[in-house]
Structure 1
Amino acid sequence: MGQLIPLGFDRDEREFFARTLEESGGPAHVTDTLAVFVGFTDANDMIKRCNDIADLARRDGLIAAIDLKRAQLASEILFSSDIYGSGLDWEATTGLDNADAIALLRRIQVKMLNLRHRTPGELS
């Protein structure tokens, strides 16, 4: 499974992160191709694991670095893409303001800079 690390997110960041991942089960349009690109086996695996990681994020538990990196990419797509994610429907489906959500996403990205350039072998 790899090394477990703390999320290091505050409460608002954890809730945003969890909420974006939960969009995988709807209204997002997760395909097998997208799931494989993000690092999951297929669409069903991505939806299940995104929901598992969302639960973990809300509990502020430890997470495998590779899962955190996959979840960050999934979160970015599920929040912003109007093709594969919530996109323009974000505010309607989550009740979270777009501007606030973008600020939270940027805060998470800054906190995850240390994972950016690691190779998959370094993360497992």
Structure 2
Amino acid sequence: MDGEVWESSEVDQQRLVTVDLDDRERAFLRAALLDWGGPARPTQEFAVAMGFADAGQLASDTRSLWKRIDRESALSIDDWRRVLLAAEVVFVSDVVGSGLDWRFTSGFSDEESIAILRGLQRKMPRWRGSFQFTVDQGGDVILSDPNRRNS
């Protein structure tokens, strides 16, 4: 099935996946996920749109996800998607995330955070394709041009 594009509904969202994280990625995710219990203040609608039950549960859910990542546990594709989106939003958004306070709450500069975040985006399980890659039924990436691996 290589090269075939799968809709997200066709990828097993509950399949458990382990992502090999280095120390900086792990520290970045720790800061990002735990900031939801600190300076970040999501609205109810935003928390639900990110895949969490509600704004009240977001902080406890992200803490629980962090604990599982810290133990190097496998997470479902759905959980990795929530982790990635929570990290993206808390870093960038000054409306619902840490935004301009990020460098103080996390200890990471914006430049370092962008580099780490792009690396995480490349490592995480994929649930949609792009012009650069497709996603097989298991959620694995098939690169359209293998020479673009880190572009």
TM-score interval, smaller chain: 0.7 to 0.9
Unaligned ranges ≥5, structure 2: 1-12, 130-137, 140-151
Aligned residues: 119
**Structure 2 residue 62 is matched with structure 1 residue 56:** no
Equivalent residue in structure 2 for 1:67, among 79, 83, 86: 79
- Runs of 4 or more off by more than 4 Å in structure 1? none
Q: Retained in 2: the 8 A contact 1:19–1:54?
A: no
Spell out, residue by residue over 1:88-121, the C-alpha distance to the aligned partner (whole angstroms, 9 max, x if none).
1111122222211111011001112x41418xxx
Secondary structure (helix, strand or coil) at the match of 2:95 reads coil
Tell which structure's C-alpha radius of gyration is larger. Answer: 2
- 2:91 matches 1:45: no
TM-score w.r.t. length of structure 1:
0.86
Tell me how large the CA RMSD over aligned residues is: 1.9
**Mapped contact 1:50–1:71 kept (Cα < 8 A):** yes
1:8 Cα deviation from its structure 2 partner: 2.1
In structure 1, the residue matched to 2:146 is: none
Quick one: distance in 2 between partners of 1:73 and 1:14?
Answer: 15
Check whether the contact 2:37–2:59 (CA below 8 A) recurs between aligned residues: yes
Matches within 5 A, 1:44-123: 44-112=56-124, 114-117=125-128
Q: Which has the higher helix share?
A: 1
Identity of aligned residues (%): 34
1:115 alignment partner, SS class:
coil
**Superposed, which structure 2 residues align to 1:9-48 within 5 Å?**
9-48=21-60
